[in-house]
């Protein structure tokens, strides 16, 4: 049986805990969490990003997160919490589910960039 986008979103939202911007800031400050922006470069350039966030577009996630990949980014550490955001939260949920499938346990959906900014999260140019 084929899986629909809705099925994939429901599974991702059920598996990846949603957290607030305040909780993400706490995780970053107290547990060295990675704040991960999975939007495309043009989106980041247009709006900026969370201060200190790593931008890895959703389509490149597996290549950057896999320690065995030549393009692995050392910011990805399976012992480090990861708070993920995108434009509205959908790609963040899917990215979180992908990271869980890759063995990352402490993965959280921060929602959208707007959620971060409106909650007073610091931003910087993209």
Work out the number of other CB atoms within 10 angstroms of the CB of residue 64: 17
Residue linked to tokens 């991960």: 36
Q: pLDDT digit string (tens) for 76-99? A: 999 999 999 999 999 999 999 999
CATH of the domain at 80: 3.40.250.10
Looking at residue 126, its pLDDT comes to 86
Q: Is residue 31 part of a domain?
A: yes
HSE, side-chain direction, 13 A CA sphere, residue 63: 8
Q: Is residue 6 part of a domain?
A: no
Domain of residue 72: give its range: 17-124
Q: How far is residue 96's CA from residue 15's CA, in Å, rounded to a whole number?
A: 8
Which sequence positions are flagged as catalytic? 86
**% pLDDT > 90, the chain:** 97
User: Hey, which residues does 83 pair with through a beta bridge?
Assistant: 35, 108
Number of folded domains that form the chain: 1
Q: Is residue 5 part of a domain?
A: no
Asked if the model's pLDDT at residue 2 lies above 90, the reply is no
Three-class SS string for 28-80? HHHHCCEEEECCCHHHHHHHCEECCCEECCHHHHHHHHCCCCCCCCCCCCCCC
What is the pTM assigned to this prediction? Answer: 0.96
């Amino acid at each position: 049986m084929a899986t629909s986008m809705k099925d994939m979103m429901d599974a991702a939202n059920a598996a990846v805990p949603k957290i607030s911007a305040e909780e993400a800031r706490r995780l970053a400050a107290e547990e060295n969490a990675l704040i991960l922006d999975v939007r495309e470069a043009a989106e980041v350039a247009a709006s900026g990003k969370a201060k200190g966030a790593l931008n890895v577009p959703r389509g490149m996630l597996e290549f950057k997160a896999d320690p065995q990949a030549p393009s692995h980014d050392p910011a990805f550490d399976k012992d480090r919490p990861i708070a993920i955001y995108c434009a509205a939260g959908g790609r963040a949920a899917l990215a979180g589910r992908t990271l869980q499938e890759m063995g990352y346990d402490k993965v959280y959906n921060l929602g959208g960039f707007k959620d971060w900014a409106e909650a007073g999260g610091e931003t910087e140019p993209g």
